[in-house]
Amino acid sequence: MSKIEIICAFCKGTGKDPFDLLSKLATCQVCSGTGKVEIIEPAIKCAFCKGTGVYPHNARVTCTVCNGKGMVTVKGTTEECLKCKGTGTETESGLPCIKCGGKGVISKK
């Protein structure tokens, strides 16, 4: 496990609030304005938001699965979640899959 720095998915590295929630000069709440976020490897693209860092049903909110980073840390060997078929989303409710937590994969035991 090691920490790596990635471009903030929520603001796409600009460091600015992408939706002008507070003001045009407001900093991104995910990366605190740096444009970059740290994640722990191994990490995969967040299935629930498809790596955008944005909550699918409300474009002004950060994804609750990856907290806006667009990537999520996984443990060990993973396999596709059969419940959501890797989408990370509950088909009926549209909420993050309860089995995989929205990652789309589950750790193999």
Residues at the contact surface with Zn ion, assessed by CB under 5 A = 8, 10-11, 28, 30-31, 46, 48-49, 63, 65-66, 81, 83-84, 97, 99-100
Q: How far apart are CA 36 and CA 70, in angstroms?
A: 11
d(CA 73, CA 82): 19
Cβ nearer to Zn ion, comparing 74 with 97: 97
Residue 1 or 54: the one with the smaller Cβ distance to Zn ion is 54
Q: What is the DSSP letter of 28?
A: P
Shortest Å distance, C-beta 28 to Zn ion: 3
At closest approach, how far in Å is the CB of 2 from Zn ion?
21
Give min distance, CB of 1 to Zn ion, in A.
20
- Contact criterion met (CB below 8 Å) for 30 and 69: yes
Q: Are 66 and 72 in contact (CB under 8 A)?
A: yes
